[in-house]
């Protein structure tokens, strides 16, 4: 019996030479990348040849990406009725773990650009401490779980802080499940215009407040000045002093020419 995997079912990014695999019937492992039972004549990632017929054979494989190194799990179920009419069973490999798209935001804080992943987007079954991750701009890896460029100040699974602004940053992560051996691929696209006015939200508000305060101070100063000038003019025209004399009030008037008649 020949059980075969349709190689077209593997994503083009998968490095087939990196795959670990197994072929099983119920709880019995018929063959793997390391060993095989005597009833197995040939075994490979895509094919299993046996002298016995099994109505159900399960293929499982675990393969790395060509570009990121992230691992993906695949599974295929090969079913047959073991009749003499057919001796070859072909099945498509199914990717066990879904690819999850995450939300990302880009904000400016002083001289840093901060790219952040919405942590609520991670499936609850994902073990965050197991994740491998990378942050990239085009073909340049800015940071990963292992290393970072000098322009990156801080990096983690959920955040990237850089001294440079990039209009597009791609986050990729590969995380294990808390309950199964499955690993899930996650991705997020962080886009921004890199214009300072798009990130300095408080600048217009601060300028507006300063303008209003300045206007109020100018108006208040103007009225204080006018009031002061008016008092000065009144004092220069008439300087009244009142002196009690025999129960009467005596007013002394200051004039500019003392020889002129009152």
The mean per-residue pLDDT over the stretch 5-29 comes to 85
Distance CA 21, CA 17 (A): 11
152: in domain: yes
Sheet holding 47-50, edge to edge: 40-43, 47-50, 2-5, 88-91
Q: What pLDDT, on a 0 to 100 scale, did the predictor assign at position 206?
A: 43
Domain match, 79 and 146 both: no
Domain match, 208 and 188 both: no
Q: What pLDDT, on a 0 to 100 scale, did the predictor assign at position 75?
A: 82
- Indicate the average pLDDT of the chain: 78
Indicate the SS3 state at residue 119: helix
191-72-19 Cα angle (round to 5): 135
pLDDT tens sequence across 142-156: 999 999 999 999 999
When divided into structural domains, the chain yields a total of: 3
The residue ranking higher by pLDDT, 71 or 245, is 71
The mean per-residue pLDDT over the stretch 238-246 comes to 45
228: in domain: yes
Domain match, 59 and 82 both: yes
Which domain covers residue 218, as residue numbers? 203-252
What is the four-CA torsion angle of 92, 97, 103, 109, rounded to 10 degrees?
-120
Could you give phi then psi for residue 18, rounded to 5 degrees? -90, -5
pTM of the model: 0.45
Tell me the pLDDT band of 205, cut-offs 50, 70 and 90.
very low
114: in domain: yes
Q: Is the pLDDT of residue 65 over 90?
A: no
CATH number at residue 83: 2.60.40
Poorest-confidence range of 201-215, 216-230, 240-254? 240-254
165: in domain: yes
Q: What pLDDT, on a 0 to 100 scale, did the predictor assign at position 34?
A: 92
Q: What pLDDT, on a 0 to 100 scale, did the predictor assign at position 175?
A: 87
Tell me the pLDDT band of 167, cut-offs 50, 70 and 90.
very high
Q: What pLDDT, on a 0 to 100 scale, did the predictor assign at position 26?
A: 87
258: in domain: no
Domain match, 172 and 208 both: no
């Amino acid at each position: 019996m020949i059980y075969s995997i349709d190689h077209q079912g593997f994503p083009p990014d998968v490095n087939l030479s990196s795959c670990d695999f197994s072929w099983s019937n119920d709880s019995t492992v018929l063959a793997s990348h390391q060993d095989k039972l005597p009833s197995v004549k040939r075994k490979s990632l895509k094919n299993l040849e046996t002298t016995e017929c099994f109505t159900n054979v399960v293929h499982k494989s675990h393969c790395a990406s060509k570009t990121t190194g992230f691992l993906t799990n695949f599974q295929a179920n090969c079913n047959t009725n073991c009749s003499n009419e057919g001796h070859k069973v072909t099945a498509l490999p199914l990717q066990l773990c879904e690819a999850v798209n995450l939300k990302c935001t880009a904000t400016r804080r002083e001289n840093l650009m901060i790219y952040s992943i919405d942590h609520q987007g991670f499936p609850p079954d994902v073990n965050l401490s197991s994740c491998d991750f990378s942050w990239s701009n085009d073909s340049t890896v800015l940071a990963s779980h292992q290393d970072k460029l000098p322009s990156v100040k801080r990096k983690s699974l959920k955040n990237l802080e850089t001294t440079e602004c990039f209009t597009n940053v791609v986050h990729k992560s590969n995380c294990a499940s808390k309950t199964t051996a499955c690993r899930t691929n996650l991705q997020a696209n962080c886009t921004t215009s890199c214009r300072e006015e798009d990130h300095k939200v408080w600048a217009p508000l601060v300028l507006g407040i300063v303008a209003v305060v300045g206007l109020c101070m100018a108006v208040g100063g103007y009225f204080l000045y006018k009031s002061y000038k008016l008092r000065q003019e009144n004092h220069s025209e008439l300087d009244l002093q009142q002196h009690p004399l025999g129960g009467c009030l005596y007013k002394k008037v200051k004039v500019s020419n003392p020889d002129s008649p009152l």
